[in-house]
């Protein structure tokens, strides 16, 4: 018995199972790829949106911390200002200031009591770490809440690091008196203790150590206290030029200052006083990327930086990755199950999709899959159509760019052939500017050539009536002048003004009011500048790098053509001179009469050179020997023969 007929059912089932597997193998990548593409695009899009939101929050946080710091400083400056006007403090300062070396202990003690009362507000709030009264202008400490400072000179005053004539606050690093190897916020206000018009002393408030640590703890908006533990998601710290970072250590109230830190914020602040950036955490963990916002406070000489680790920013988004992968895998599993169970129903859509793939492979970008289903295949068809739209747009864009580039090269070759085939220099230049303007659609095209001395670039040819007017008035620009032509001819390099209103080198021509962008390339042969090719457009930013390459190629062709035309002209002139000499020599041969020889020579030179008048003078033998006596002419002695033509 024929085994093929023995089990017809098994034979029928076998191709069905094989078709299902093949169909699943074909369809699964088509489903998986769009899912992965959409999942990846959604992830990166969500990441970008989240980063943008966090960046805005960081900027707002940095600004809020600057405002908090400024309010904190202003509160202490106000207290200093009020204290400097208290009669008791001024009287105590005057007593010590009158004779600081011989001041009585009682006077100093009174000044210290006044300073101590000013340092505290209420019974518990400490406004300053220390207060002191300083004599101006030498910076001698007259009285202080820390008696060990009295009688010492204040280095910050001597070095000019404190503003002695106004109320202000300055951040100082490594001050030998206030904060060695650390940072202190120093507020000061001028004071007149003695009678006089000018301030004779200064009231200075110091905040360092725990006082500064309390301030910095208030600035930590990303710190959260959970019971006995503190969760530090981000960090706020201060920076001082040129390389000092002041931060609050973990579980510490005393700030630490690190000098010589190569933090990226320092270079960013020099470019822009405020902003946001993404960089590695050079302070704690160089392998940890962070998002940071910074703002510089110039009047205090410090900046506020708020940082947040990127792993904190994208933590919730990262938590969605396993769910997204599970979702994609689940969709793939469902697709395989559906393909296996309903092969016959999905066979036609599969053929359509296969045909779509084949057409896309052959470059039929306009073909789309019908989206008449509401199941997974319908979603797949829509995704493939979107993919086809994207690929079609990209393909057409590339085709358009290649076509535009090819058109530019073809046009440049056409212009170069036309220019090279023109023997006359004037015709060559006129044809060159007209062809470049017409083929490339520029507003104005002109060619400048250097004069014999190389001092000026003279307009030799330009397009339109404006070009004719400029040529008529002898338009020229000095080499190296404040103009694009002057710059190009001086430097032998192309130059582009994307917006002529903002380019400092652009020379504004009142006859060309519609010019918005301009480009010029040098005309040169062997490194020797001959002039410049200038093109102008009514559109801003009209010249791309590839346009400059094409223009430079044209300029090189025109330069070679100009040189050939000039050489041809010189050769023709030399040939004319040689022919003239030959003709004169031929006419003079055989003539024995002097007058006839001279008359013939004058007429030949007149006709050959085209001069209005040619005079041949003959000296007497005595004049030839140097005695100055001319030959006699037809009318008597003392004259000279002057045959004219």
Residues of the chain with CATH 3.30.450.40: 423-569
Could you tell me how many helices (H) and strands (E) the chain has, helices first? 17, 21
Tell me: pLDDT of 384 over 60.
yes
Peptide bond into 242 cis (omega under 30): yes
Helices (H), 149-243: 155-158, 210-218
- What span, in angstroms and rounded, lies between the C-alpha atoms of 426 and 117? 93
**Angle at alpha carbon of residue 544, lines to 436 and 447, rounded to 5°:** 35
Can you tell me the mean pLDDT for 532-536?
93
Q: DSSP string covering 496-545, please?
A: EESSTTT-TT----TT-TT--EEEEEEEEETTEEEEEEEEEESSTT---H
- What span, in angstroms and rounded, lies between the C-alpha atoms of 453 and 523? 16
Tell me: pLDDT of 36 over 80.
no
What is the predicted pLDDT for the residue at 397?
Answer: 75
- What span, in angstroms and rounded, lies between the C-alpha atoms of 533 and 524? 10
Query: Phi and psi (nearest 5°) for 542?
Result: -85, -15
Write out the two tokens for 594: 């002097």
Tell me: pLDDT of 53 over 50.
yes
Query: Phi and psi (nearest 5°) for 297?
Result: -115, 95
- What span, in angstroms and rounded, lies between the C-alpha atoms of 333 and 320? 20
Q: Report helix, strand or coil for 376.
A: helix
Q: 238: pLDDT confidence band, cut at 50, 70 and 90?
A: very high
Q: 631 near 619, Cβ under 8 Å?
A: yes
Write out the two tokens for 199: 């301030």
Tell me: pLDDT of 231 over 70.
no
Q: 134 near 99, Cβ under 8 Å?
A: no
Q: Report helix, strand or coil for 641.
A: strand
- What span, in angstroms and rounded, lies between the C-alpha atoms of 274 and 133? 36
- What span, in angstroms and rounded, lies between the C-alpha atoms of 207 and 218? 15
Write out the two tokens for 8: 């017809």
What is the predicted pLDDT for the residue at 296?
Answer: 94
DSSP assigned state of 627: S
State how beta strands 302-309 and 517-525 pair.
unpaired
Tell me: pLDDT of 644 over 60.
no
Tell me: pLDDT of 577 over 80.
no
For 14, 48, 177, the CA distances from 139, given in Å and listed in that order, are 103, 54, 12
pLDDT digits (tens, 9 = 90+) for 336-383: 676 666 665 656 666 676 677 777 777 776 777 777 777 776 777 778
- What span, in angstroms and rounded, lies between the C-alpha atoms of 523 and 537? 20
Question: How many other C-beta atoms are found inside a 10 Å radius of the C-beta of residue 199?
Answer: 18
What is the predicted pLDDT for the residue at 18?
Answer: 47
Q: Residue 121: which H helix or E strand, with range?
A: strand 120-121
Beta bridge partners of 135: 140, 201
Q: Report helix, strand or coil for 81.
A: helix
Residues in contact with 553: Cβ distance below 8 Å, sequence separation at least 6, in sequence order? 412, 416
- What span, in angstroms and rounded, lies between the C-alpha atoms of 368 and 383? 11
Tell me: pLDDT of 15 over 50.
no
Q: Residue 548: which H helix or E strand, with range?
A: helix 545-588
Q: 49 near 316, Cβ under 8 Å?
A: no
What is the predicted pLDDT for the residue at 374?
Answer: 72
- What span, in angstroms and rounded, lies between the C-alpha atoms of 474 and 465? 14
Write out the two tokens for 66: 């600057």
Beta bridge partners of 202: 134, 190
Can you tell me the mean pLDDT for 515-528?
90
Handedness of CA 156, 160, 166, 168 (dihedral sign): negative
- What span, in angstroms and rounded, lies between the C-alpha atoms of 183 and 188? 16
Can you tell me the mean pLDDT for 204-231?
81
Question: How many other C-beta atoms are found inside a 10 Å radius of the C-beta of residue 383?
Answer: 18
DSSP assigned state of 644: B
Q: Is 423-569 a domain of CATH 3.30.450.20? A: no
Give percent above pLDDT 70 in the chain.
Answer: 80
Tell me: pLDDT of 636 over 50.
no
Question: How many other C-beta atoms are found inside a 10 Å radius of the C-beta of residue 102?
Answer: 7
Query: Phi and psi (nearest 5°) for 53?
Result: -65, -45
CA atoms within 13 A on the CB side of 68: 16
pLDDT digits (tens, 9 = 90+) for 122-154: 777 889 999 999 998 888 999 999 988 988 998
pLDDT digits (tens, 9 = 90+) for 437-482: 888 889 999 999 999 888 999 999 999 888 888 888 889 999 998 8
Give percent above pLDDT 90 in the chain.
Answer: 21
Q: Mean pLDDT of all residues in the chain?
A: 79
Write out the two tokens for 383: 């995704």
Write out the two tokens for 274: 């405020």
* Burial group, residue 638, by CB count within 10 angstroms (0-12, 13-18, 19+): exposed
Q: 297: pLDDT confidence band, cut at 50, 70 and 90?
A: very high
Q: Is 217-315 a domain of CATH 3.30.70? A: no
What is the predicted pLDDT for the residue at 353?
Answer: 67
More confident residue, 571 or 62: 62
Give the helix, strand, coil percentages of the chain, each rounded to 5. 50, 20, 30
């Amino acid at each position: 018995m024929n085994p093929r007929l023995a089990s017809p059912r098994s034979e029928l089932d076998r191709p069905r199972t094989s078709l299902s597997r093949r169909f699943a193998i074909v369809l699964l990548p088509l489903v998986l790829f769009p899912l992965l593409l959409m999942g990846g695009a959604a992830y990166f899009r969500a990441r970008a949106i989240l980063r943008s939101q966090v960046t805005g929050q960081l900027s707002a946080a940095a600004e809020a911390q600057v405002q908090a710091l400024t309010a904190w400083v202003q509160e202490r400056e106000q207290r200093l200002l009020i204290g400097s006007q208290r009669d008791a403090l001024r009287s105590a300062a005057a007593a010590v200031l009158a004779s600081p070396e011989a001041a009585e202990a009682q006077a100093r003690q009174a000044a210290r009591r006044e300073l101590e009362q000013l340092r505290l507000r209420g019974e518990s709030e400490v406004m300053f770490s220390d207060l002191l009264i300083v004599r101006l202008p030498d910076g001698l400490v007259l009285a202080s809440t820390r008696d060990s400072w009295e009688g010492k000179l204040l280095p910050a005053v001597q070095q000019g690091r404190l503003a002695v004539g106004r109320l202000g606050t300055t951040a100082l690093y490594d001050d030998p008196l206030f904060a060695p190897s650390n940072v202190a916020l120093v507020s000061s206000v001028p004071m007149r203790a003695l009678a006089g018009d000018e301030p004779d002393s200064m009231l200075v408030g110091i905040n360092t150590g725990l006082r500064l640590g309390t301030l910095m703890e208030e600035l930590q908006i990303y710190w959260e206290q959970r019971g006995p533990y503190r969760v530090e998601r981000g960090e706020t710290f201060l920076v001082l030029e040129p390389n000092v970072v002041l931060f609050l250590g973990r579980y510490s109230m005393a700030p630490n200052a690190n000098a010589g830190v190569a933090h990226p914020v320092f270079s960013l602040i020099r470019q822009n006083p405020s902003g946001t950036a993404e960089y590695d955490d050079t302070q704690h963990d160089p392998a940890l990327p962070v998002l940071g916002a910074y703002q510089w406070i110039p009047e205090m000489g410090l900046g506020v930086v708020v940082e947040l680790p990127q792993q904190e920013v994208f933590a919730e988004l990262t938590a969605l990755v396993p769910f997204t992968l599970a979702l994609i895998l689940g969709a793939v599993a469902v697709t395989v199950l559906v393909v296996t169970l309903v092969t016959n129903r999905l066979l036609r859509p599969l053929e359509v999709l296969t045909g779509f793939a084949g057409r896309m492979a052959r470059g039929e970008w306009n073909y789309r899959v019908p989206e008449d289903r509401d199941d997974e295949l319908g979603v797949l068809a829509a995704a493939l159509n979107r993919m086809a739209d994207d690929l079609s747009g990209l393909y057409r864009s590339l085709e358009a760019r290649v076509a535009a580039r090819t058109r530019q090269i073809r046009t440049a070759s056409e212009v170069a052939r036309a220019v090279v085939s023109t023997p006359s220099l004037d015709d060559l230049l006129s044809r060159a500017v007209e062809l470049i303007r017409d083929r490339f659609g520029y507003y104005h095209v002109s060619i400048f050539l250097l004069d014999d001395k190389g001092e000026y670039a003279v307009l030799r040819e330009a397009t339109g009536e404006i070009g004719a007017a400029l040529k008529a008035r002898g338009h020229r620009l000095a080499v190296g002048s404040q103009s694009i032509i002057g710059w190009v001819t001086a430097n032998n390099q192309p130059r582009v003004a994307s917006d002529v209103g903002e380019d400092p080198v652009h020379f504004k021509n009142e006859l060309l009011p519609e010019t918005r962008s301009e480009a010029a390339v040098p005309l040169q042969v062997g490194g020797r500048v001959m002039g410049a090719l200038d093109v102008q457009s009514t559109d801003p930013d009209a010249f791309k790098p590839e346009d400059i390459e094409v223009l430079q190629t044209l300029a090189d062709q025109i330069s070679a053509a100009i040189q050939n035309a000039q050489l041809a002209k010189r050769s023709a002139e030399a040939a004319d001179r040689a022919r003239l000499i030959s003709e004169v020599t031929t006419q003079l041969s055989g003539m024995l009469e002097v007058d006839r020889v001279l008359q013939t020579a004058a007429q030949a030179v007149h006709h050959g050179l085209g001069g209005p008048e040619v005079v041949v003078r003959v000296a007497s033998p005595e004049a030839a020997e140097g005695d100055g006596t001319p030959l006699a002419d037809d009318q008597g002695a003392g004259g000279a023969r002057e045959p004219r033509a």
